[in-house]
Each structure stands twice: as structure tokens, then as C-alpha cells.
């Protein structure tokens, strides 16, 4: 005899399930008439190493259900962290999901999407009833993987993976004892990280006779120019450095900038100087990313962009 199904609040049950972080996949198959189908699914999981098997579940309401039920073969794509738009596209019913997508040729007929973190080409081994879903278990006949960091999904939103920092506590409430601040204070972490990073190319700045103010002005004008003195000051205000006409005219006098009716721009010597500094800074970045790994580097970029956005006092936008 079956016990009566517990009456859960659907929204709350979904919220509880959403505490389980997953990757994001797109699963594809091809109908007998050649029509490709694909859905975004985070119900994917590994099942067996020998034989190699995986599973995922498909809502019985999905429009692609007849094709997946009839198909003997399907492909699982573990999405990379820059494929959020693709995930959204395949999560919407009724779109031409494969429009303008470059596909690879696989072992079977099912579409094979490019740019993923990993891909598994499977043939259906079993299909089970699972309440309002069908559970597909597949045997993996081929797979490939890349170094692209995976996209995650947790508490109803996309996320990036970040490795936990070993035995280092990262909570803001870690006991600071009697000290005025702890090693978890964001201000300390950001300041120290900044100075340690810049120290890696400080010598190149010194060789070119560039102090912080000159470095900020030159790097701004390397991205976009010309700018008026007021525009330069507005863009650099976040550093606390007050860039005035005196500083800009000194940079013109040194042959680093030129100034005409349109505003200030890099002169030949300024372009050469900033290219050398940027090359050195990129070397430091490559070294740091190498030590952190691409997955943590992507998570760090994401966290810093979020911090910049939430603390932005309303600076003019440099990158559009
Ligand atoms: C992150 C995410 C995970 C999803 N996981 C699943 C899943 O595991 N199974 C499923 O049937 N639908 C899942 N969906 C919903 C389907 O992608 C969506 O219903 C899709 O439009 C079905 O396509 P179709 O109706 O064209 O077949 C998920 C959606 C998102 C955004």
C-alpha cells in the first residue's frame, strides 16, 4: 500500500531543493525527421564508472519529450561559465534554440554544441518513471572536456565555483580577539591583495618614471581618448587622486600626452610607456592566475566586479 503523498508547499520544497548546488547542462537529441531538440537541465548526475553511465530527468510537460523518448542517443553538455545566455535560451520553450549555433560532428546524430566545459555522448540504457518526470539513464560512448570553468546553479541563480581556502576561515564574524581588525576584514584583504599585485610591476613603473597618478591617467587614455581634463578627473576620482591641469600639462611637457582641441590623448612616448607597464602587469596576472587556477580566477573577477558595482559612487562608465 502507498503512503499518502505528503502535501508540501511547492515553492518552499523548490527552495529547499535549490540549496543543492549543481552544474548546468544542455541535453540534446535529434528527432527521426532530423529536427534538433535541446533543454537546459540541472538534474544531471553521474551514476556508474564501469560501465560509464549518467542520468538526468525530463519533465513530462516538456515539448521535447516525444523526441527524447524515441531517441536512442543524446548528448550532455556541461556549460562553461560564459554560457549563461545559452542556458537561458535552452530553458525557454518555443525558441529556435539552435539558431546560429556552430555544431560539432559527434558519434551519433544528436547536436554537439561547442565551447562547453565537458560533453558526454550517450545512448539510452534505461528510462524510468519518476513522478512528473522521466529519468533517463545513458551509457557514455564518448566524452571530451576543456579547461573552461563550469557554470553552477544554486538557490535559483547562476553561480561560479570557487575553491574553499583550505583551513582559512572566511566568515566575516571570525573572532578578532582584542585586535582592531581581523584577517577577514574586506578592506584589509583588498588593500593587501592590491599592493602585493602592484608590487609585481612597480619596477617597470619606476623605470618609466610613472607615479600612481601618471599611471592612472595613461591607462585611462589607453582605453579611450580623447578626454577633457574634467572627464579625466571624473574617471580617476575613485583613486582619491585629484588630477588637475598642472599634472596633465606636466605629462604633456614630458612627451607622454598630447593635447589639442579634442582633449588629451596618449603621445607616442606615453603609448610606449603604458604598453610596457601593461605587458609587465599582464605577466603578473598570468602568474597569479596560474597559481589560483582559472576557476578561482573567474570567481575572483566576478566577486570584485560585484563589489565595484555595489560600492560605485556613480562614476562615468569607461567600458560600454
Ligand atoms: C537551471 C535550469 C535547470 C533546469 N533543469 C531541468 C531539468 O533537469 N529537467 C527538466 O525537464 N527541465 C529543466 N529545466 C527547465 C527546462 O530547461 C525548460 O522547461 C525547457 O524549456 C524545456 O524545453 P522544451 O519544452 O522545449 O522541451 C531547467 C531550467 C533551468 C533554467
Summarize pLDDT for 263-286 with one digit per residue, the tens: 999 999 999 999 999 999 999 999
CB 158 within 8 A of CB 152: yes
Hey, is 271 helix, strand or coil?
A: helix
Cα 94 to middle of ligand 1, angstroms: 12
Backbone angles phi, psi at 288, to 5 degrees: -65, -45
Taking the CA of residue 58 as reference, the ligand 1 atom at the shortest distance is: 11
Residue 104, beta-bridge partner list: 112
pLDDT value of position 162: 85
Q: Which of 142, 144, 21, 151 is nearest to 79 (CA)?
A: 151
pLDDT for 229 equals: 95
What pLDDT, on the 0 to 100 scale, is given for residue 179? 79
How high is the pLDDT of residue 294? 85
Helix, strand, coil percentages in the chain from 3-state DSSP, rounded to 5: 35, 25, 40
Specify which residues 257 forms β-bridges with: 266
For a mutational test of ligand 1's pocket, the pick from 40, 59, 81, 134, i.e. the residue with the most ligand atoms closer than 8 A to its C-beta, is 40
Look at residue 10 and give its three-state secondary structure.
helix
Which ligand 1 atom sits nearest the alpha carbon of residue 91? 17
The alpha carbon of 41 and the centre of ligand 1 are apart by a number of angstroms equal to: 5
Within 25-173, strands assigned E span: 25-30, 36-41, 45-48, 53-59, 73-78, 103-104, 112-113, 118-130, 133-145, 151-154, 157-160
Check residue 15 and give its pLDDT: 97
pLDDT of residue 176: 55
Q: Is the CB of 43 under 6 A from ligand 1?
A: yes
Cβ of 124 less than 6 Å from ligand 1? no
Does ligand 1 have an atom closer than 6 angstroms to the CB of 14? no
- All cell numbers assigned to 308: 565595484
Ligand 1 within 6 A of CB of 69: no
CB-ligand 1 contact for 59 (6 Å cutoff): yes
Spans of the chain, pLDDT less than 50: 1
Q: Which of 264, 244, 246, 268 is nearest to 256 (CA)?
A: 268
Single pTM value for the model: 0.77
Please indicate whether residue 26, judged by its CB atom, sits closer than 6 Å to ligand 1: no
**Per-residue confidence (pLDDT) for residue 126, from 0 to 100:** 98
- Among 41, 64, 66, the mutation site with the greatest number of ligand 1 atoms within 8 A of its Cβ is 41
φ/ψ region of 12 (left if φ > 0, alpha if ψ in -120 to 50, else beta) reads alpha
Domains of the chain as residue ranges with CATH: 15-160 (2.30.110.10), 186-310 (1.10.10.10)
Our answer on whether the CB atom of 306 is closer than 6 Å to any ligand 1 atom is: no
Amino acid at each position: 500500500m502507498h503512503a499518502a503523498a505528503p502535501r508540501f508547499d511547492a515553492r518552499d520544497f523548490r527552495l529547499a531543493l535549490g540549496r543543492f548546488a549543481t552544474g548546468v547542462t544542455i541535453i540534446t537529441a535529434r528527432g527521426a525527421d532530423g529536427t534538433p531538440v535541446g533543454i537546459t537541465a540541472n538534474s544531471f548526475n553521474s551514476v556508474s564508472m564501469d560501465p560509464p553511465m549518467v542520468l538526468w530527468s525530463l519533465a513530462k510537460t516538456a515539448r521535447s519529450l516525444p523526441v527524447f523518448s524515441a531517441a536512442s542517443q543524446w548528448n550532455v553538455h556541461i556549460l562553461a561559465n560564459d554560457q549563461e545566455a545559452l542556458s537561458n535560451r535552452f530553458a525557454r520553450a518555443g525558441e529556435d534554440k539552435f539558431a546560429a549555433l556552430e555544431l560539432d560532428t559527434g558519434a551519433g546524430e544528436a547536436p554537439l554544441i561547442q565551447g562547453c566545459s565537458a560533453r558526454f555522448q550517450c545512448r539510452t540504457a534505461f528510462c524510468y518513471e519518476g513522478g512528473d518526470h522521466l529519468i533517463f539513464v545513458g551509457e557514455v560512448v564518448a566524452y571530451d572536456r576543456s579547461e573552461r570553468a563550469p557554470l553552477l546553479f544554486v538557490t535559483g541563480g547562476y553561480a561560479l565555483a570557487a575553491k574553499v581556502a583550505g583551513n582559512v576561515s572566511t566568515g566575516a564574524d571570525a573572532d578578532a580577539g582584542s585586535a582592531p581588525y581581523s584577517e577577514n576584514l574586506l578592506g584589509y584583504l583588498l588593500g593587501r591583495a592590491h599592493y602585493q599585485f602592484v608590487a609585481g610591476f612597480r619596477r617597470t613603473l619606476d623605470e618609466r618614471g610613472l607615479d600612481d597618478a601618471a599611471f592612472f591617467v595613461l591607462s585611462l587614455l589607453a582605453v579611450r581618448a580623447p578626454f577633457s581634463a574634467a572627464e579625466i578627473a571624473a574617471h580617476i576620482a575613485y583613486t582619491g587622486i585629484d588630477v588637475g591641469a598642472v599634472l596633465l600639462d606636466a605629462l604633456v611637457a614630458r612627451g607622454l600626452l598630447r593635447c589639442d582641441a579634442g582633449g588629451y590623448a596618449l603621445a607616442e612616448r606615453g603609448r610606449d610607456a603604458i604598453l610596457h607597464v601593461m605587458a609587465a602587469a599582464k605577466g603578473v596576472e598570468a602568474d597569479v592566475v596560474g597559481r589560483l587556477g582559472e576557476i578561482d580566477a573567474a570567481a575572483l573577477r566576478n566577486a570584485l566586479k560585484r563589489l565595484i558595482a555595489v560600492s560605485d559612487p556613480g562614476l562615468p562608465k569607461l567600458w560600454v
